[in-house]
């Protein structure tokens, strides 16, 4: 008799579509990424409820939920705790920290989502690492960040990445290191590299360039 195989613990690749995930959350059952079609998604895992680092991450993200939504982005958390544990923990955060977490949290108590997305790492038992998946409105994975359990995430970096991805999509540009505070071209962006002799010659005349393969420009929006 054919038996359904267990999902493999593989980290998806950038540019792949997020697999269809049927999940139970603190805000009801959802099918991802379909539920958020047309929106960006930040899907992030945390090791466990009622732990100090995870609590600081949830409060940091909850405080800035309006900034994410201004970027047409929804947050959704995940751990292998059961849904009643999530609910009680979020109640504790509201009571003790004065912050209400309004985004949903997936109760992946059987570990199927964590396994499918490579959130379980050797030597860390059954707890998920601090993974972050940025998914575009078409359901494609655009960025993946992995932090060990000992290191809390940087909320500013998640927001910076979102802004950079959206800027790149809209204007067909790239962003430099530490954008928008690069130590060479500041908040300017990098134009696509020339792909033939004629366009390379044309690029040599650009005012803002170091060479034909390194041209940059100032955009009105960031």
Instruction: Report the candidate in 101, 106, 24, 107 with the shortest Cα–Cα distance to residue 55.
Output: 101
Distance between CA atoms of 77 and 26, rounded to whole angstroms? 10
C-beta separation of 139 from 18 below 8 A: yes
User: What are phi and psi for residue 90, nearest 5 degrees?
Assistant: -65, -35
Tokens for 71? 């970027």
206 part of the active site: no
User: Residue holding tokens 């998920």?
Assistant: 128
Q: Quick check: helix, strand or coil at residue 58?
A: helix
Distance between CA atoms of 78 and 24, rounded to whole angstroms? 10
Kindly give the interhelix angle for 52-63 and 155-171, rounded to the nearest 10 degrees. Answer: 40
Of 18, 32, 54, 76, which is the active-site residue? 54
| Alpha helices for the chain (secondary structure H) | 52-63, 65-70, 83-92, 112-116, 155-171, 197-203
Distance between CA atoms of 74 and 79, rounded to whole angstroms? 17
User: Residue holding tokens 């690749």?
Assistant: 13
User: What residues are labeled active site?
Assistant: 54
């Amino acid at each position: 008799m054919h038996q359904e195989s267990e999902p493999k613990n593989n980290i998806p690749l950038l540019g792949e579509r997020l697999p269809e995930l049927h999940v139970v959350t603190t805000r009801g059952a959802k099918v991802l990424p379909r539920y958020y079609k047309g929106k960006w998604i930040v899907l992030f895992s945390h090791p466990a409820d009622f732990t100090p680092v995870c609590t600081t991450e949830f409060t940091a993200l909850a405080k800035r939920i309006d900034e994410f939504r201004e970027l047409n982005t929804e947050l959704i958390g995940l751990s292998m705790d059961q849904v009643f544990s999530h609910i009680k923990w979020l109640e504790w955060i509201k009571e003790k920290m004065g912050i209400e977490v309004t985004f949903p949290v997936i109760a992946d108590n059987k570990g199927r989502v964590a396994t499918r997305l490579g959130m379980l790492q050797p030597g860390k038992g059954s707890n998920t690492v601090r993974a972050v998946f940025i998914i575009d409105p078409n359901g494609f994975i655009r960025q993946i960040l992995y932090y060990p359990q000992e290191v809390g995430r940087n909320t500013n970096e998640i927001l910076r990445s979102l802004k950079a991805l959206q800027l790149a999509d809209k204007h067909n540009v790239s962003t430099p290191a530490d954008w928008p505070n690069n130590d060479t071209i500041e908040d300017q962006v990098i134009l696509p590299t020339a792909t033939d002799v004629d366009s390379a010659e044309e690029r040599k005349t650009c005012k803002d360039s170091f060479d034909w393969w390194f041209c940059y420009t100032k955009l009105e929006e960031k």
